[in-house]
Structure 1
């Protein structure tokens, strides 16, 4: 997890501990899902409202492609949540909203074809002359979250409980960049390559544009102290 997320998580934890000093209504939830693995802390605000803060993190790799280029993608998930859970019937069903510090990002590396070439914007380049193709996909750092869930970790009795979340993280339109490092072709070919990379970056952006609405599905186990 990146340093800013560590700092944010630490500050949130200190805030919760300071506001709940002397109180026993406190629960921790360990969860797993599309945002990675994480830990959240809950405290009561009112009989039907809880505050919940925590973090999730996970790195994993996968393969993908645009119409022209194959890529190895590395997805790095790092989020810190500040959420409010509302229990409309004062039971286990909840409505959730809040803000998330969004450190999610994707690194992409272009993969040449079996013949050792790239086709970019209709032009063919050898991998040796084009150099390495590197892409980056970033999202806005503060993202709203809306969702529903099941389970109230702040129960009447202490002990273990179940938690589930389903919602959407509004990451916004992603920003993408695609560059080549180590072009060894003549300067006019390298200039052409840069122009073709701009066209390929548009395709890459279209490929990942659906990530502006990131689905959040989590299950977890909670413990009330």
Structure 2
């Protein structure tokens, strides 16, 4: 996990607890998001303004696929999610809020496969490919709008929609052909495949943030 994640968690916690003399004005929430499950904690620092930290995602996952489904054997592992440090502004003092802050990403995917077919039809049945994918920006700006139902205290429902400026997806490929007689062609085709993947990744400059859950205000 990047060092920024525990640092971000400490900053959010310190910002909230520095103002708090008791749990009055604090809230906690949990639910599902476009990263997986999430948990949040917030504190009202002044009327209409709350500081909120959100921990979301799937910490570790693994995936395996075979030739019948993918044309090659694939194994992959990674994590998806991170920590958001947000300021929530409630313009009308009700449930509607405008939020902005930073998202500290811990989203990675590493995988490997055997054999592939290049765009020109050349097949490398004995090749081994190692792939790595990362968000371009580990620390990304985040903007969102949301709504929290319920009163000043007690349970309520919450929903939110927004965007995280991840700056694109970076893809790195490496591998061996398994046949020294085609090494040169393999390197060219592998580089072309990496370039194509990064060209598509450059278009993914934002990641959608959607969440739905419940919260409790103390």
Query: What's the TM-score, normalizing by structure 1?
Result: 0.79
Query: Which sections of structure 1, spanning at least 5 residues, go unmatched?
Result: 64-68, 113-117
Whole-angstrom distance in 2 between the partners of 1:119 and 1:11: 48
SS of match in other structure, 1:156: coil
Whole-angstrom distance in 2 between the partners of 1:192 and 1:106: 27
Question: Relative to structure 1, is the Cα distance of residues 89 and 15 closer, same or farther in structure 2, using a 3 angstrom cutoff?
Answer: closer
Decide whether the 8 Å contact of 1:72 with 1:111 is kept in 2: no
Question: Relative to structure 1, is the Cα distance of residues 152 and 52 closer, same or farther in structure 2, using a 3 angstrom cutoff?
Answer: farther
Query: Which sections of structure 2, spanning at least 5 residues, go unmatched?
Result: 66-70
The CA deviation string for residues 66-123 of structure 1, in whole angstroms up to 9 with x for no partner, is xxx87776562121111111112211111111111112223344464xxxxx222415
Aligned length: 208
Q: Residue 205 of structure 1 aligns with which residue?
A: 198
Query: How far is 1:184 from its partner?
Result: 2.7
Decide whether the 8 Å contact of 2:45 with 2:51 is kept in 1: yes
Query: What's the TM-score, normalizing by structure 2?
Result: 0.82
Whole-angstrom distance in 2 between the partners of 1:24 and 1:91: 17
Query: How far is 1:23 from its partner?
Result: 5.2
Q: CA RMSD in A?
A: 2.7
Say if 2:29 is the partner of 1:25: no
Whole-angstrom distance in 1 between the partners of 2:158 and 2:41: 12
Whole-angstrom distance in 2 between the partners of 1:202 and 1:211: 15
Instruction: Extract structure 1 runs of 4+ deviating beyond 6 A.
Output: 69-73
